[in-house]
A and B are shown apart, each in its own frame.
Chain A
């Protein structure tokens, strides 16, 4: 059995197909960005544990879980600390642009017919920019760069989130010389626990 993305010895690369290491390099950049985001010391990065179910045609049909971090962009609102002049209430306007990053580990259950392998580990990462909507159901829309390794798929995805608990991603992934469809659903783990009655 040949590992996914690897050519048989001596086989020629099909014309117009990008080297697989380009996708791997891009995936590494996404993972590094998400890692850097997670590790950055900041008071304002808020964390949510997420369950992430994913599909990338021919590459991923699996799930991962891990922390998602979010940080608002813009000036931090002032704190009413002791010793500050008493000037009445401080009014704070919402910051609407947010950086997001997520790292998740899980399992890729892509069937052998599609992936060339059975169950294998899966690392998921994304980094991106979100815009906070002002609808009656609070939410975010935005774009993320997402990557799955070692499945070797990386690409942009549109990101829509409702009520800060459920996010849908739709996009395209480049891997092993071609573009593939990508869909994913992320749910807050605490929301899942509540729904299951824990």
Chain B
């Protein structure tokens, strides 16, 4: 059978363009400092509005993809630099990495339903946020067997299943990626991105000065975790989305189905931020961590392993030695070797049983939003909610 391999890239790896096709964000050019003075040809005072998005509560699809009047932003091409050698055997799937990850998961499902290989299934490689989109896609089918019918193999590379302090960093302090003069604007736009909230740490990452964990209501998924000026601009609706998504990401491989095999590649060499100290109602004014953990410099290894549980741990390959940092983990020769051999291994056959309706509890209180594609089997089919 001819399986087709899709690469679901990580945060920032899909370039963004406006409705006229002008690139407004290219992560490689930004990281080299080439786009700092001309983000899509627009002046810096427009950047925050340009890259901010708006969401209506309860809707996964954004109501506006840019707050700049008359501007719509769409995903463009995936940058090749971090996936150079992986792109020789995987087709990149671009998406807007700012949006609610469940919306992108629905888009991925829609893509796979509409383009399923005639005599095969998909292999999915997810890097970083891309891996979360894959896991969410597996959790949002109405039919328990649908994901297995669509997907033969899943490889997660450096996916922050339990979250990452780097997301918190961007929301607490802002990123210097657009230049030191634009940190405030970077934070402002990030505060409108659901995906950043959805990658906040699920563990007790906020600790007191004595290093004891703060209470749950003062952790970063709760409003109480954002004291004083650090709470300005933080959106309650996006925190709610983060909590809903964390519930869906627990037990990451639990809904893949019997016909899909999975592997998670993680880095275990780089020091990775894990905890931040809160002093009364103050978070640190600058990047400062109480404790680090081994990881890939974005995904903490043990924290993620613990979140995934025993069934997940059996599917994990941890890269030690000289493994690459998070952004370039897909170019790591050992990660590439493992991925290619895994994709060539025999996968279990797809299920042949009729659709089986997923229990409502598996959606953790959220209802998958139908896009332009009806649930498998269509309305009225056995086991399909109407």
Contacts and interface: CB of A to CB of B under 8 A. Distances in A.
A80 B322 contact: no
Contacts of B310: 86
Nearest to B301: A89
Given A188-B80, A194-B80, A89 B334 contact: no
Nearest to B23: A197
Interface string B193-213: 000000000000000000000
A46 B333 contact: yes
Contact of B84 (A72, A132, A164): A164
A25 interface: no
B328 A164 contact: yes
A43 B319 contact: no
Contacts of A195: 28-29, 32, 34
21 contacts: A46-B85, A47-B85, A48-B88, A72-B337, A76-B337, A77-B334, A77-B337, A79-B263, A79-B342, A79-B345, A89-B318, A91-B317, A94-B319, A94-B334, A138-B322, A138-B324, A190-B84, A193-B80, A194-B28, A195-B34, A197-B23
Contacts of B29: 194-195, 197
Interface string B117-132: 0000000000000000
Interface in B305-350: 305, 310-311, 313-325, 328, 331-334, 336-338, 340-342, 344-345, 348
Given A79-B342, A164-B328, A92 B317 contact: yes
A28 B11 CA distance: 45
A118 to B, nearest CB: 34
Contact of B319 (A70, A92, A133): A92
Given A82-B348, A164-B84, A94 B341 contact: no
Secondary structure at the A interface, as helix, strand, loop or mixed, is loop
Interface residues of A, number: 41
A86 B79 CA distance: 36
A45 B187 CA distance: 41
A92 B34 contact: no
A94 B270 CA distance: 13
Nearest to A72: B333
B261 A82 contact: yes
B81 A191 contact: yes
Contact of B316 (A48, A89, A138): A89
Given A72-B337, A95-B333, A194-B26, A80 B316 contact: yes
A77 B263 CA distance: 13
Contacts of B344: 43
B358 interface: no
Interface of B: 23, 26, 28-29, 32, 34, 77, 79-81, 83-85, 87-88, 261, 263, 266, 268, 305, 310-311, 313-325, 328, 331-334, 336-338, 340-342, 344-345, 348
B341 A44 contact: yes
Contact of A79 (B77, B81, B338): B338
A90 interface: yes
Contacts of A94: 319-323, 332-334
B11 to A, nearest CB: 16
A14 interface: no
Contact of A80 (B268, B305, B315, B323): B315
Contacts of A89: 266, 305, 313-314, 316-318
B334 A92 contact: yes
Nearest to B336: A46
A194 B79 CA distance: 6
Nearest to B32: A195
Nearest to B337: A44
A81 interface: yes
A133 B333 CA distance: 12
Contacts of A47: 85, 88
Contacts of B266: 89
A79 B331 CA distance: 18
Given A46-B340, A95-B321, A95-B333, 17 more contacts: A46-B337, A47-B88, A77-B317, A82-B261, A88-B313, A89-B266, A89-B314, A91-B318, A91-B320, A92-B318, A94-B334, A138-B328, A190-B80, A191-B28, A193-B80, A194-B26, A194-B81
